[in-house]
Amino acid sequence: MTIKPYNTLLAACVFAVAGMSAHADVALPALISDHAVLQRSDKTRVWGTASPGEKVSVVMDSAKAETVAGSDGKWSVELNLTGLGQGPFEMTVAGNNTLTVKDVVVGEVWLTAGQSNMGFNLKNAIGYAEESILPANPLLRHFLVARKIEPELQDSCTGKWQEASPETIGNFTAVGYYFGKKLTGALQVPVGLINSSWGGTPIEAWTSLEALKSQPTMNESIGQITKTLENFDKVKADYAAVQHDWEKKMNRENIPANPDAFVDPKADTSDWKTVRLPGKLRDVGLPDAGVVWLRKTISISNKENPGIRVAGAEGFASVYINGKLLKEIKPENYQEAGGDIRIPPDLLNPGENVIAIRLFNPKGNGGMFAGSHYFMCCFTSLSGDWLGKAEKEFPALTKEEAATYPQLPQKPLSVAERPAHLYNGMIHPLLPMTIKGAIWYQGEHNSLRGFLYKTSFPAMIQDWRNKWGADFPFYFCQLPNNGGKSKNIGDSGWAELREAQTQALRLPKTAQAVLIDIGEADDLHPRNKKDGGERLALIALAKTYGKDIVCSSPMYDHFNVEGDKVRIFYQQPAGGLVAKPLDKTYLVKSLSNETKPLERNSPKSELEGFAICGEDKKWVWADAKVDGDTVLVWSAAVPKPVAVRYGWANNPTVNLYNQAGLPAGPFRTDDAPWSTAAARY
């Protein structure tokens, strides 16, 4: 691995020995601590701080190096670990003082990064019960980078190394755990996972500001984001004043009643109405404008970082849990609407919990209109039956009165969404660490900006490689299927994001794990993390470690029109293609074991998920069948076909695989304009 000179990229993690003075003791970063995994390399970096000019020596078995701390107190050495075994070893670092790092092993170090599906803990995944009774595996180790949002580059991170054991693996990244477990089994070497992930975050937050500004469109957006933040206090105050004036003029002021009768878990709800959410309140006879209370009793199984998200509320929402107010949205803090609301763990009951929402809507069209991704509590969807009761009803506005309602200003990005803020706090401090490669699972938060992802995703990959000074392998998960099934053939933000991900394969040493068959309709966080982690591991074993195994899903290569049919040619057909039998149901939510009947779009076809069109660009569902290493696609309604699509939907029904059991990747052969082309960060 080629490494740039230390002074061009060193960023130290939090030091094990705190405090620096004019004669500071030698200190190490958190990544170089007890139970650490170091990459087997002839240039494995160890770094830290000491007094300026202090001599520092590092010894681990037969690997030795010496250096002198610079004028800034930073030092770095490179150890040749290729001649050592796996260990464990003790590392001695000596300067004015001496430090001993225990139980250090030598093996393969992988960065696992992204948003919530990478951060998703093993304890919440399918298969945890079986994994939790296995004996400890000292070959597999995990370092969780503590979440840190920073507007400036940081030289510190916190975390600690943990060996895989029944007591620890529940907090491992589930995708990373299955990835690392398969590697340790196949390679019989230690594997270290450095988990740097944060749910609900865009790729722009994980990319350096330098790399973002090198993209003209992104640079323009960053300027607008900066301007919005600089002016926001005034914008917010002006909006609140106008909103309150309008409410007073229209006699629609928010004057709350005593909430106890509505939020008390023991309150009598016999006269409340059943309301299906997401949906409109007027559909069940509740006020279209006014104040409505909504209640739902749920059993919360996941109390890890508990929170509620109620985006899509039409009006100003106040959210309660078990009778206690968590968040009240007013015009003064409108920008906080829809975000995650943390629940103090001591407010949660071991069994049932009552969520209550007071929805103040002074204009009309009251209701909750967010999809399942943005309407949940503790990773549990809140969609379904609620109870509703009116507190106050306002008369309908005239068309002229409604037109005077103040327009809601644009919300600024949350701090975790802002450009480079997660790169600064959670990636930059890791740069000195010698790693083998990275695995990545992210994109859900960018699904409305798929067109931009074509640029921003490869830009981030290149950015990380440049900053690390190493052209390391970068393997990623393609977005899985998610959302409701659709009979229509049209635009899909998730399909476009998947296409953008596939285009990143033009970069060297990249590969993607196709997950189009393991998602869930009503859960943004599919609990099957084993297939994702193991598919990434297959890629690493084949492409990084040279194992002779099939690792790639069949990916579209080109097509030929043959009369009234289209023949699709694939890369990596792996000995032939297979039409996997379809189940009679599809998965809605594994947490509740909910399924729905599967309605075939092409009921007589061997293959599902193909669509075809002629010159008129009118898409119809197609019949398709496997023909050796190719697929034939046709429809009686399209005698002169020109284009084909496969799996082009948020949650497509598909069943094309290779002989190794890996699903074929979605694709389109047409060049229709991207529906997300105008979307900006």
DSSP state of 313: B
Helix runs in 20-110, H state only? none
The DSSP annotation for 459-478 comes to: HHHHHHHHHHTS---EEEEP
Average pLDDT over residues 566-577: 89
User: Could you give the CA distance from residue 276 to residue 285 in angstroms, rounded to a whole number?
Assistant: 12
In this predicted structure, the answer to whether residue 619 has a pLDDT above a threshold of 80 is yes
**CA dihedral (431, 433, 439, 442) positive or negative:** negative
For 601, the 3-state DSSP assignment is coil
Are 537 and 543 a contacting pair, CB within 8 Å? no
**Residue 458, preceding peptide bond in cis (omega within 30° of 0):** no
Please state, in angstroms and rounded to a whole number, the distance separating the CA atoms of residues 487 and 480. Answer: 19
pLDDT digit string, tens, across residues 288-302: 999 999 999 998 866
Dihedral sign of CA atoms 523, 524, 527, 528 in order? positive
| Mean pLDDT, residues 596-602 taken together | 96
Q: pTM of the entire structure? A: 0.89
Residue 660 half-sphere exposure toward CB, CA atoms < 13 A: 18
Output the CA angle 532-534-535, nearest 5 degrees. Answer: 65
The tokens 């919440």 sit on which residue?
Answer: 124
Under a CB-based contact definition with an 8 Å cutoff, are residues 203 and 450 in contact? no
The helix (run of H) or strand (run of E) holding residue 41 is none
The pLDDT assigned to 544 comes to: 98
**Residues of the chain by 3-state class (helix, strand, coil), percent to 5:** 25, 30, 45
Reported as a single tens digit per residue, the pLDDT across 61-70 is 999 999 999 9
pLDDT at 300: 80
How large is the average pLDDT for residues 517-527?
Answer: 93
Closest-CA residue to 187 (of 86, 87, 60, 111): 86
Q: State the virtual CA torsion across 294, 298, 302, 307 in degrees, nearest 10.
A: 10
Quote the distance between the C-alpha of residue 471 and its chain's center. Answer: 24
Distance CA(441)–CA(533), nearest Å, equals 10
Contact between 518 and 480 under an 8 Å Cβ cutoff? The reply is: yes
DSSP 257: P
Q: What confidence tens digit (pLDDT) does each residue in 188-220 have?
A: 999 999 999 999 899 999 999 999 999 999 999
Reported residue count of the chain is 681
* Ordered structural domains, the chain, with CATH: 6-208+420-544 (3.40.50.1110), 251-396 (2.60.120.260), 555-664 (no CATH)
Please name the amino acid found at residue 63: A
Q: In the predicted model, is pLDDT for residue 493 greater than 90?
A: yes
The amino acid that residue 225 corresponds to is I
